[in-house]
Amino acid sequence: MLRYKKEIIVTAFIVVGSIAAVLIALNKHISSQKIAIHFPKGTISASKAITPEQFTNGLGGTSNLGQNSGMLFIFNTPAKFGIWMRDMKYPLDIIWLSSSKTIVTIDQDVSPYTYPQTFYPSDNSKYVLEVNAGTAKRLDLSDGTKASF
């Protein structure tokens, strides 16, 4: 009977230890999904769009976004990726960046009421950054501004 209790305790410790290891790894993975995007006059802390749902929905359905926050879409190859305002509740600035992280196009103060219109950059981009309306103006962003991340 004592041996049986020892086996249960050892098994419980193994299970709890395994769960703890998974949770630590998951927390590290989730926290790595944020990225700091540096511009000459400020920094944006952006969530990376990772899942297919995030790529489709973007910030749609969210109720607000912090002043220096955003969402960054990273595409495998540069192209003219379209962005829409489906399920948005507040206006955005949409910033397209080239492979060299240079702004190629900014659509400022895009209203949620523009849906189903789709917005496109003037040139191929590899990254799209969605931020609160007014951020591009506040950070003095324009075509040709360089970012680092």
pLDDT digits (tens, 9 = 90+) for 97-122: 999 999 999 999 999 999 999 999 99
Per the CB < 8 A criterion, the answer to whether 125 and 78 are in contact is yes
What is the band of 31 on the pLDDT scale with cuts at 50, 70, 90? very low
Provide the residue ranges of all domains of the chain, joining segments of one domain with +.
Answer: 1-32, 34-138
Phi, psi of 70 (to 5 degrees): -170, -170
Torsion of CA 94, 60, 58, 137, to 10 degrees: 20
pLDDT at residue 3, as a whole number: 57
What is the band of 40 on the pLDDT scale with cuts at 50, 70, 90? very high
Please check whether the domain covering 34-138 is classified as CATH 2.40.50.140.
Answer: no
pLDDT digits (tens, 9 = 90+) for 55-80: 999 999 999 999 999 999 999 999 99
